[in-house]
Amino acid sequence: MRVYAAVIYVFLYGPIALIVLFSFNAGRHASDFSCCSASWYGRAFGNPFMMEALINSLLIALCTAVLATVMGTMAALALQRVRGVLRLMFDGLTYTAIIIPGIVIGIATLVALVTVFDAVNPLLAAAWPANLGQAPRLRLGTGTVIAAHTLFTMALVIVIVRTRIQDMDRSLIEASSDLYAPPMRTFFQITLPQIFPAVMSGFLLSFTFSFDDFVIAFFVAGADTTLPIYVFSSIRRGVTPEINAIASVVLAVSLTLLFVAQALQSRRRRYRSP
C-alpha cells in the first residue's frame, strides 16, 4: 500500500520535476541535457512576446478574480432570500455554467460576440458624436477573455460561498439586528468574517482557473495573447528549453499562490482556535 502510494507520487511529480530540471539545461537543444545554466530564463524574460503574454495573463486573472468574487458573493448572499421559480432558474444557470464544457462555452461565446459586435459596431459608429473623433470599435481581446472567464468562475464562487452561508451561525445575525446594528454593520462585522474563508478560496480558485485557462481564451482572445496561448503555439512549433523555463515560471506563480492561500488559512485557524 505504501509502495503503491509512493509510486503514484513519483508519477504525479516526476514529469513536473523533469520540466524544471530541463529548464536549467545549458545545452542548445531540449533533449540533450548538460548542467546547469539559468540562461534560458534570461532568454524567456528577454522575450517581448512572452512578457506581453505573461502581463496579459496576470491582468486577466486579477480582473476575473475580483469581478467573479464580488459578483458571485453578492449573488450568493441575495439567493438566501429568493425562493420559487426564480431560485430554480438561477440554480439551473449556475450549474449550466459549470457543467457545459469549456470548449463549447468558448466557441459559443466567440460566435455570439462576433455576431453582436458586427451588429453593434456600425450603429455605434453612426451614433458617435463627430466632435469626439473616431468611434470605439468593440472587438475580441483581453476584455472579452475577462468577461468569459468571469462567467464560469462566478458560478464557482456562488456555489462555494452558498455552501458556507448554509453552515453559518444564524443566531449571531439575529442577535446583531436585535441589538439595533444597521444592516451594513451586521454585514461587515458578522456575515463577512464568517463567510470570508469561502470568499477567499473562491478568489484564489478564480485567479488560478483564469491564469491557467487555455481553451476559452483560445477562442475569445482575438489578436491578444495569454501565456497559455503563447506556450501552446510554441509547443506546436517545437520543444525548446525556453518553453521549459516559461513553464517553470508558470508553475512557480501557481505554487506561490497556493502557499499564500495555505498561510492565510492556517493563520486564521490559529487566530480562531482560542
Partner 1 sequence: MAKAQQSDGSRSVVTAMLLLPTTLWFLLLLVLPLVVILVFSLGERGPAGGYQPAFTLAQYANLPARLKAFTNTLTLAPLGTVLCLLFAYPLAYFLGVRASARAKPLLLALVVVPFWTSFLIRTYAWIFILGGRGIPALLAQFGLDDVRLINTPFAVLVGIVYGYLPLMVFPIYVSLEKLDKRLLEASADLGASPLRSFLQVTLPMSLPGIVTGCLLVFILLMGEYLIPAILGGGKVFFVGNALVDLFLQSRNWPFGSAVAVALVVIMLLAVTGYLYFASRGRRREDVSVI
Task: Kindly state the smallest distance separating residue 77's Cβ from partner 1, in Å.
Answer: 6
- Interaction between residue 239 and partner 1 (CB under 8 A): yes
The DSSP annotation for 166-194 comes to HHS-HHHHHHHHHTT--HHHHIIIIIHHH
| Binding range to partner 1, per CB under 8 A, among 7-15, 37-45, 174-182, 195-203 | 7-15
Using alpha carbons, list the distances in angstroms from residue 69 to 39, 95, 109, 185, 191: 39, 17, 21, 20, 15
The smaller minimum CB distance to partner 1, of residues 151 and 172, is found at 151
Using alpha carbons, list the distances in angstroms from residue 61 to 29, 138, 208: 32, 21, 7
Distance CA 68, CA 154 (A): 4
Q: Where in 178-237 is the site for partner 1 (CB under 8 A)? A: 208, 211-212, 214-215, 218-219, 228, 231-232, 235
Q: Where in 24-43 is the site for partner 1 (CB under 8 A)? A: 30-31
Beta-carbon contacts of 144 under 8 Å, excluding residues fewer than 6 positions away, are 109, 113, 220, 221, 222
The smaller minimum CB distance to partner 1, of residues 114 and 172, is found at 114
- Interaction between residue 273 and partner 1 (CB under 8 A): no
Task: Kindly state the smallest distance separating residue 179's Cβ from partner 1, in Å.
Answer: 17
Q: Where in 119-158 is the site for partner 1 (CB under 8 A)? A: 147-148, 150-151, 154, 158
Residue from 36, 38, 78, 175 touching partner 1 (CB under 8 A): that is 78
Distance CA 1, CA 8 (A): 11
Residue from 255, 260, 263, 269 touching partner 1 (CB under 8 A): that is 255
Rg of the chain (C-alpha set): 23
